[in-house]
A and B are shown apart, each in its own frame.
Chain A
Amino acid sequence: DSGVTQTPKHLITATGQRVTLRCSPRSGDLSVYWYQQSLDQGLQFLIQYYNGEERAKGNILERFSAQQFPDLHSELNLSSLELGDSALYFCASSVVGQKRIPEAFFGQGTRLTVV
């Protein structure tokens, strides 16, 4: 168990709909990353938050948005869903500012299926 919790584990929804994926980072981790992984593909970086603020943006569509709340949990909002949005969405958290390598710990992912 990595200590990172993602809910739900599975989500099936129709095109055009909107969903929210939730991530609770490890206790004490300030940084949260979101990644998208399509079938048999690598991990595409979407966005990163650090202590409630957006820090880096990757290949995130305008239909997607995220936020990190004061309790450090994060939500990824996906709207106007298309079939191509079907993928595994991973959240990772890491510690920032310590001498040891800030290793990223990944959750189990949310499998989104758009039908």
Chain B
Amino acid sequence: GESVGLHLPTLSVQEGDNSIINCAYSNSASDYFIWYKQESGKGPQFIIDIRSNMDKRQGQRVTVLLNKTVKHLSLQIAATQPGDSAVYFCADLYLKAAGNKLTFGGGTRVLVKP
């Protein structure tokens, strides 16, 4: 079946450095791609999304890049802070009148070193 994302890897980053988290997807029909952050003991929390007809979208300290040619999605976090330590999931959203389908990837654990 269709899938999004990779096996759960870990990214260690020094506080203050930039982080880049990558994700691959397979559903070309997806309407949006979304990044979620999951802190320990909590449910996933929306960070940023990008519509499928865009290449780049910037938020506060985060940038999402979409490369449809190679079906690749990335999340860049600028000036990584200790509070950024979490598991990050990419997801694709397929909009249907009968109910949207949200499919998650495997996630990446980010560890911020002081």
B12-20, B66-74, B77-85, B95-103 - interface stretch: B95-103
Contact with B99, one of A90, A96, A108 (Cβ below 8 angstroms) = A96
Considering only residues 61-102 of chain A, those with a C-beta below 8 Å from chain B are: 90, 92, 94, 96-97, 101-102
> Which residues of chain A have a CB within 8 Å of any CB of chain B?
2, 4, 31, 33, 35, 40-45, 48-50, 55-56, 90, 92, 94, 96-97, 101-109
Contact with B101, one of A42, A48, A108, A109 (Cβ below 8 angstroms) = A48
Is B106 within 8 A of A42, CB to CB?
yes
Is B43 within 8 A of A102, CB to CB?
no
Is B44 within 8 A of A96, CB to CB?
no
Is A103 within 8 A of B49, CB to CB?
yes
Q: What B residues does A107 contact at CB under 8 A?
A: 43
- Docked Cα-Cα span, A102 to B36, in Å, equals 14
Is A42 within 8 A of B102, CB to CB?
no
Q: What A residues does B32 contact at CB under 8 A?
A: 101
- Docked Cα-Cα span, A94 to B99, in Å, equals 9
Q: What B residues does A103 contact at CB under 8 A?
A: 34, 46, 49
Contact with B100, one of A31, A43, A44, A106 (Cβ below 8 angstroms) = A31
Is A41 within 8 A of B104, CB to CB?
no
Contact with B107, one of A42, A50, A105 (Cβ below 8 angstroms) = A42
Q: What A residues does B104 contact at CB under 8 A?
A: 35, 42-45
Is B46 within 8 A of A102, CB to CB?
no
Q: What A residues does B34 contact at CB under 8 A?
A: 101, 103
A43-B49 contact, Cβ under 8 Å, with A35-B104, A92-B102: no
A105-B46 contact, Cβ under 8 Å, with A42-B8, A42-B89, A42-B107: yes
Q: What B residues does A49 contact at CB under 8 A?
A: 99
- Docked Cα-Cα span, A44 to B4, in Å, equals 11
A31 to chain B, nearest CB (A): 5
- Docked Cα-Cα span, A49 to B36, in Å, equals 21
A41-B102 contact, Cβ under 8 Å, with A90-B43, A102-B93: no
Is B46 within 8 A of A43, CB to CB?
no
Is A96 within 8 A of B43, CB to CB?
no
A104 to chain B, nearest CB (A): 5
